[in-house]
Chains A and B, each alone.
Chain A
């Protein structure tokens, strides 16, 4: 959806299971957060497990929605509708986790 610029590109994959309200919320939240913190440096891929069920086992997805940061390394998994922005950022390692 967004073109990458020079610099590290974030590769994000959002797993959903059908276009449920939760999943749509997650997508919206994700776009917002990415725009805010990773403008121009990210790609979002949406994987619908109802369309591609095999990926659930392959990628070890249990919860929906699950956001996986594929790049940069290491892989990070975040579950939920991303309404908790703080946690999302911590999960994405865009922010250090507070104590």
Chain B
């Protein structure tokens, strides 16, 4: 079981710490059988770190531990960690833990010649043997330097101590106070060089952030980033920066947005499961309502949904959503929906991220809503907000969680332009825009982008009523897109116009008919006239003929009477008889 640590193996055996997130970050825990140095400024959490290492080692991994305290008494230690749920007294009684407070008071001691620290060795040895300890904490051994003046002896003894601990094959955590220009005041890093972890506690813009960094881990691959961590009710939570290698696996499955009209705009099928959805809009456009529909749809599918609100309390959200016909209360009661509300500026960005990690790991939701993401940086417009968002989206994707992020944008700046860097992380981007026209402010929704599907590029009018959200096709006419009462007004106008045109058309039709009838009547009468005339003409003709023949007869008669005596005159027309 115990491996002499002479040969350097490709991967060193590691002792898991049980501290949330830390084992991932270290690739399995601290180097087994070797000392790890944990250093940082006062109040950075070293003692807690060390204590949690022991406590979890005993409880979770059945490895008893010895805590050698140089600064706090056993009672003080017990007191301090009781609030974390660690009952040290009980653990001591059950031989899971051994506490030894080493008192070093300089005034009491006169140094009169050579000495060594065998007393310490004896104490440690006894403690380890009594409970079969596999883990040891020395917190913080630098105190010895304050109590004993012979630094040379001390250094020699420390070297001996760490060799001795290695021989005992105990995994050790040594804490040290941060020095100026060196990791620890007394340069412990010289002797403890297998693994060095630095804890940092910063306050910026009135929010405090805690960070952890693995300065060194001999023989192991480790991330060199700073990992934010939280100290919470049950100990330390380290936020691992998950693989940002874009190796997420994907699924074809689609889930409903909770609004039929929106699903229709998304290829008719809704979002991809596990994708990231961003909803941008100015204040009052109904983003939370959309989020609530998403939550309801998820819960109706029997999936868990985590709603992280940075603006409203759970009760307020439930109440407000009820007015639009979305009742979230039963889902909260059944445990499918969890609403978690915090003020964004209470914590730093990393703390938010770490909290989200924790909530997700505890609750294991399939869907997460963050409403909104825009004020998490407390207005501090550094790149940090982006980096944090990147890690959040990445983390959720890796867990195959569908994320719905709400972004509040300022009116006046083009929505698509704000924070363009975010868009690279987002699979589906919905925009809610307010359109001011005709004394009204109506809302339109459109899908700016949605990867992997043929989404609609149309604007839909977005209305919220007591029956929930509805998307209507807005009026698109020659004057542009109209919504709301302008739309209805325009539609009415159109109708009226239609009617008028129809009426006009039939009137014209009637008019034409009338004219035609009129003309036809005229034609008829003219025809009558014509035939009358023709008749008359015929009549005249025959009369004329009649008269002609009478004339001719009369002349002939006259000529006959004048006698044949008369010869035919020469001037008669040469008519041949």
Contact = CB atoms under 8 A, between A and B. Distances in A.
B117 A76 contact: no
Interface in B136-161: 144, 148
A79 B112 contact: yes
B108 A62 contact: no
Contacts of A57: 100, 123, 126-127
Contacts of A84: 111-113
A61 B125 CA distance: 14
6 contacts: A17-B122, A18-B118, A57-B123, A60-B102, A61-B123, A83-B112
B119 interface: yes
A62 B368 CA distance: 55
Interface residues of B, number: 25
Given A63-B148, A64-B116, A66-B119, A79 B111 contact: yes
Nearest to B70: A62
A80 interface: yes
A90 B109 CA distance: 11
Interface string B77-115: 000000000000000000000001011100011111111
Contact of B109 (A29, A78, A82): A78
A50 interface: yes
Contacts of A64: 115-119
Given A62-B104, A76-B108, A56 B114 contact: no
Interface string B245-283: 000000000000000000000000000000000000000
B120 interface: yes
B126 A53 contact: yes
B98 to A, nearest CB: 10
A49 B110 contact: no
B114 A81 contact: yes
Q: Which 6 A-B pairs have the closest CB atoms?
A: A91-B110, A83-B113, A80-B113, A80-B112, A64-B118, A61-B119
B115 A22 contact: yes
A27 B543 CA distance: 186
Given A62-B104, A78-B110, A56 B115 contact: no
Contacts of B102: 60, 62
A56 B117 contact: no
Nearest to B157: A63
A62 B113 contact: no
A49 B112 contact: no
A49 B127 CA distance: 14
A92 to B, nearest CB: 9
Interface string B305-329: 0000000000000000000000000
A84 B123 CA distance: 27
Given A17-B121, A53-B125, 12 more contacts: A49-B118, A56-B123, A57-B100, A62-B119, A64-B117, A65-B115, A77-B108, A78-B111, A80-B111, A80-B113, A81-B112, A91-B112
Given A15-B119, A66-B119, A56 B113 contact: no
Contact of A63 (B116, B125, B127): B116
A25 B110 CA distance: 17
B418 to A, nearest CB: 63
Contacts of B121: 17
B123 A53 contact: yes
Contacts of B122: 17, 49-50, 53, 56, 61
Interface in A64-99: 64-66, 75-85, 87-88, 90-91
Contacts of A80: 110-115
In this complex, the member of A53, A62, A78, A90 whose beta carbon has the largest number of chain B beta carbons within 10 angstroms is: A62
A14 to B, nearest CB: 12
